[in-house]
Amino acid sequence: MKQKNNYTIFSFIKRDSKKMMLAIILSLFSVVSGIIPYFVVAKILTLTILKKGTIVDIFYLSIIGTCAFCFKIIFFNLSTTISHKLAYKTINFIRYAIVDKLAFISMGEFQKKKIGEYKQLIMDDMDKLEYPLAHAIPEITSNLLGFIAIMIYLFIVDWRLALAGLVPIIISFIIYGIMMKGGAMEIFKEFNEGTALLNSTTVEYINGMEVVKAFNQTVSSIEKFSNAVIHFRDVMTKWFSHCWPYLSAYNVIMPASIAFVLPIGGILLKNNIIDLSIFIMGMILSLGIAPPVMKLIEFTDNIPTIMFTEAKLKEILSINELEQRLKKICLKDDSVEFNHVSFGYEENNILHDISFKIKPKTMTAFVGTSGAGKSTVAKLIARFWDVKEGEILVGGENIKNIPLTQLMDEISFVSQDNFLFDMTIRENIKIGNKFATDDEIEAVCKKTGCLDFILKLPQGFDTAVGNTGELLSGGERQRIAIARAMIKNASIIILDEATAFTDPENEEIIQKSISNLTKDKTVIIIAHRLSTIVNADKIILFNKGRIVNEGTHNELLENSHIYKDMWQAHIGSKSWGVKEKVQCLEY
Ligand SMILES: Nc1ncnc2c1ncn2[C@@H]1O[C@H](COP(=O)(O)OP(=O)(O)OP(=O)(O)O)[C@@H](O)[C@H]1O
């Protein structure tokens, strides 16, 4: 599928452009209302000093000033309410777009970034967008127009005072420019990368907490993590050391228009070039020049944040999705076929010229030494990656021609990881089939040997399993993962070491229920315990990424010395385990 790559943050905001316009207009009203009190104060001062106005004039002017000030607040609140809603909606759009994207790219593309980097973009970077999105667009527009309005009026009042008022603004811009030109963007980039590194290593460190504890490590002894912390401290210090002197000067000079307008105005007044009313108006208006400009500059701080977030967003959203057809197609049957498939995660191939046929509604086992490529073959069937050469057919169709959602409906995959979400057991199982009733869930749990332990839990099916299922044992997690796969009722079931963590008693129960639940399905089992697959219709033996033999258990015992050795080793280890048990009992 050809990817669109015109994703900018603005393209997401544009989806609700009417609301954005309304926020800008209200913000503009707010700024205009905010300027009125300056005129009012200038007028009152002039009338009072020149003793021209009555108390009633001053009273009415005060009412106008107060009302204008109230309107400024009302319009500002209305504007920011709308822009905040819009900002959260836009951030939601972007988050959905990223997460949707991740579901349709290959695992190879997905793995190019660390989990922490995804977390930073989806959570932290999006949170940082809230401020510029909610405030920047309406306020930049209105403050810019507010500044222009004040300056035009000041020029009309007296061009010399107006120029004097502009001097600190120009000096501040020059200071800001020097700061940015002097490497601020590069340092900000480093700062941003340092934040990303800290995020990803923190996620990795927390995930590896068991290893940290088991090997009695401390934060400082996990070099990668402590280096990331130190690096972050250094880039942050560098960022502030670079910017702070400039920002201090900028913060002092920028609001100091009156310091320039006052002496110039004084000279002009003393020489009768301007009269007192113009002098007062100039002084008061000069106080109103800096606030809108400072607000504008405040938003420029967000420009690097927006630029870096947008660059990351574009990078992710323009990743090519797995090519797929959108229209559902009719599959001949539930067969699986590999035709001369070669594949490697990176440059080097891991699988070499793999070809096999799995008949519908049969059980096939993949066996072989560790690292032989069994799981890789299984993952290719589910199209977690695309093959480099050859083709994979499901139901007689190349899987590239089957819409991904249809393929996922056809296949149930239980991996070695048994990932459970931090939700209740019921919710985890319902991921397999969101329409499953409580009775169906209970029935499948009974068959997969998890009902007993679930019912013993404090809240039964409503017990939360904790982060990645940590509140359950490995075997319990595995059985729930099998129940989740079985309730999906897919026609092709792939079990990758699905019962590896289960104790022998439960393994027998689960094996029996798997056989019952998968009677009329195409089942692919990856197993190291060969005794669990002796009844398979076909066993495919892998070695170093190649198929070295295939046949039934008895055929392989006769034809393959590798399989025979594996079987002998398995039988040996089983009897060794029994002997150990007997010795322990005797002891
Ligand atoms: N995501 C990945 N990225 C890069 N290389 C990988 C990835 N997953 C597996 N490999 C490599 O591919 C090879 C085959 O791995 P695979 O998991 O398919 O073997 P396996 O036969 O299932 O092993 P085991 O029985 O130990 O699970 C190994 O050398 C492994 O290091």
Q: Summarize pLDDT for 447-502 with one digit per residue, the tens.
A: 888 888 888 888 888 988 876 666 777 778 888 888 888 888 889 999 888 766 66
Please give the pLDDT value at position 504: 66
Sign of CA dihedral 401, 407, 411, 412: positive
CA 298–ligand 1 middle distance (angstroms): 51
Please enumerate in sequence order all residues whose Cβ is within 8 A of that of 123, keeping only pairs 6 or more positions apart, or say none.
none
Q: Which of 249, 31, 227, 65 is nearest to 140 (CA)?
A: 31
**Structure tokens, 262:** 């006052």
**Contacts of 391-395 spanning 24+ positions with Cβ under 8 A:** 391/338, 391/339, 391/340, 391/341, 392/336, 392/337, 392/338, 392/339, 392/341, 393/335, 393/336, 393/337, 393/339, 394/331, 394/334, 394/335, 394/336, 394/337, 394/492, 395/331, 395/332, 395/333, 395/334, 395/335
- Give me ligand 1 centre to Cα 448, in Å: 28
Residue 371 Cβ < 6 Å to ligand 1: yes
Q: Whose CA is nearest to atom 8 of ligand 1?
A: 376
For the beta carbon of residue 276, count every other beta carbon within 10 angstroms: 12
Does any ligand 1 atom lie closer than 6 A to the CB of residue 376?
yes
pLDDT of 217 strictly over 80:
no
Measure 375 CA to ligand 1 centroid, in angstroms. 7
Q: Are strands 397-398 and 411-414 parallel, antiparallel or unpaired?
A: unpaired
Mean pLDDT of 293-297: 78
CA distances 290 to 30, 144, 175, Å, are 17, 11, 15
- For the CA of 376, the nearest atom of ligand 1: 18
Of the listed ranges 122-136, 228-242, 484-498, 502-516, the one predicted with least confidence:
502-516
- CB half-sphere exposure, 181, CA atoms < 13 A: 6
Query: Going by CA atoms, what residue is nearest to atom 13 of ligand 1?
Result: 371
For ligand 1, atom 4, name the residue with the nearest CA. Answer: 345
Residue closest via CA to ligand 1's atom 7 equals: 345
Give the pLDDT score at 129. Answer: 83
Neighbours of 330 (CB within 10 A): 7
- Architecture per CATH, domain 9-317, reads as Up-down Bundle (1.20)
Q: What is the pLDDT of residue 573?
A: 58
- Cα(373) to ligand 1 centroid in Å equals 6
Say yes or no: CB of residue 345 within 6 Å of ligand 1. yes
Label residue 574 by pLDDT band (50, 70, 90): low
The strand pair at 538-543 and 492-496 is best described as unpaired
Ligand 1 centroid to Cα of residue 14, in Å, is 45
CA-angle at 515, arms to 559 and 498, nearest 5°: 80
* CATH superfamily for domain 336-552: P-loop containing nucleotide triphosphate hydrolases (3.40.50.300)
97 has which bridge partners?
none
- In 3D, which of 34, 37, 256, 264 has the Cα closest to residue 147? 34
pLDDT at position 580? 45
Q: Is the CB of 375 under 6 A from ligand 1?
A: yes
Cβ(47) – ligand 1 distance below 6 Å: no
For 209, the enclosing helix (H) or strand (E) is: helix 209-214
- The domain limits of the chain are 9-317, 336-552
Q: Among 98-112, 254-268, 540-554, where is mean pLDDT lowest?
A: 98-112
C-alpha 344 – ligand 1 centre gap (Å): 10
371 Cα: distance to centroid of ligand 1 (angstroms): 5
Start-to-end CA distance of the chain, whole Å, equals 67
